[in-house]
Amino acid sequence: MDLRTSYQQTSHQLSGHGKRTVGVLQQAFAEVDSNQVSDHYGTGEVIMRFEQKMAQELGMEDAIFFPSGTMAQQIALRIWADETGNRNVAYHPLCHLEIHEQDGLKELHHLEPILIGDDKRLMTLEEVQALPDIACLLIELPQRELGGYLPPFDELEAISHLCQERGIRLHLDGARLLETLPYYEKTAEEVCALFDSVYVSFYKGIGGIAGAILAGPKPFCDEARIWKRRYGGDLIGLYPYIIPADYYYELRKDRMGTYVEQAKELARRFNALDGVWTTPEVPVTNMFHLHLEGDDEAVAARIQSVQETTGVGVTGYLVPHDDYCSTEISIGDAYGEIDEHQLNRLFEQLEQ
């Protein structure tokens, strides 16, 4: 048995909302009228109603449901580049578009990314001020690959104001937007007001099946709908994604504060162990990175043994570094299903 298999076979897991089984889909559809009419190539009540709802929630003029965030964000940056006549866009070196999309922005749209900041920290206002002429700046909230760090809200306001002055479009990678709201003590609308366009995911912290919303001004969304068709994103029916997106959004949108407090407590317990630490030390969202001293084989064997002994899943993967390994913890409903006895036993085993 390997680490991933041992994680999958645990009865409880620290991260997420529980195992992604068919039951996740069944739960979302349990009370849906069987005569509900499907959407049809991007039209119909089920998709239009949800798009209008999310536009209102985010304080934007319009919104479009996409099958994937990768599609939505590449299209967003392409539209802003076309509008401004500038092929340069800027984002952090650890941006999803840079490290997870096989250069899609460059190969499909011939846009030129400018990497801003350092891969060990958030970008700064001073670095934004030093940017050359660009069409769009993308900011990710929270910065997932750094462990969920967030910039101060007043710095976001300053960046937004600077972009307005320079005619730079500001796009929000808000895949985990809801998770940032407890830290900022703001509504989604108040955060999105700083941005020209925003993307939100429905399968990450919200825990749906798949899909995303791209929101912004009406002309921007009109153009995005054309690009969605060009990308093949107008499936004959997107309702298997839309209905769960709506269901789990309503179910979990107000639970983020609880998840954040649970993440803080869990990180505190990890940081009390020898040779174990988290970034951030005190989480600012429901997620953090967990680091353990040792080479990847030794750490994997240790974690696997703990998982098999306790039935509590810590992780199914490790990222090796020179003398330690890392993984990501993201708190959702699953953590609340672990009782205190199980959690204490987990940490007793980790201490050994």
Q: 212: part of which helix (H) or strand (E)?
A: strand 212-216
Q: 89: part of which helix (H) or strand (E)?
A: strand 88-91
What pLDDT was estimated at residue 249?
A: 98
For the chain, how far is it from start to end, CA to CA, in angstroms?
Answer: 21
Contacts of 225 (CB under 8 A, 6+ apart): 42, 64
Phi-psi region of 338 (alpha: psi -120 to 50; beta: other; left: phi over 0): beta
What pLDDT was estimated at residue 91?
A: 98
CB of 205 within 8 A of CB of 178?
yes
pTM (global) more than 0.75: yes
What pLDDT was estimated at residue 86?
A: 98
Q: State the average pLDDT over residues 313-335.
A: 97
Alpha carbon distance 124, 109 (integer Å): 27
Across the strands, what pairs with 170? 137
Q: State the average pLDDT over residues 328-339.
A: 97
What pLDDT was estimated at residue 100?
A: 95
* Look-up of token digits 């099946």: 209
Backbone angles phi, psi at 214, to 5 degrees: -115, 125
- Best CA proximity match to 305, nearest among 245, 348, 262: 348
239-254, pLDDT tens digit by residue?
999 999 999 999 999 9
Asked if the model's pLDDT at residue 1 lies above 90, the reply is no
129-139, pLDDT tens digit by residue?
999 999 999 99
Q: Residue 81 has which token pair?
A: 């580049």
273-296, pLDDT tens digit by residue?
999 999 999 999 999 999 999 999
102-112, pLDDT tens digit by residue?
999 999 999 99
Burial 331-346 (b: 16+ CB within 10 A, else e): bbbbbeebeeeebebb
- Best CA proximity match to 198, nearest among 346, 109, 73, 26: 73
The rounded mean pLDDT for the chain is 97
Distance between alpha carbon 96 and the CA centroid of its chain, in Å?
A: 10
Q: State the average pLDDT over residues 310-319.
A: 97
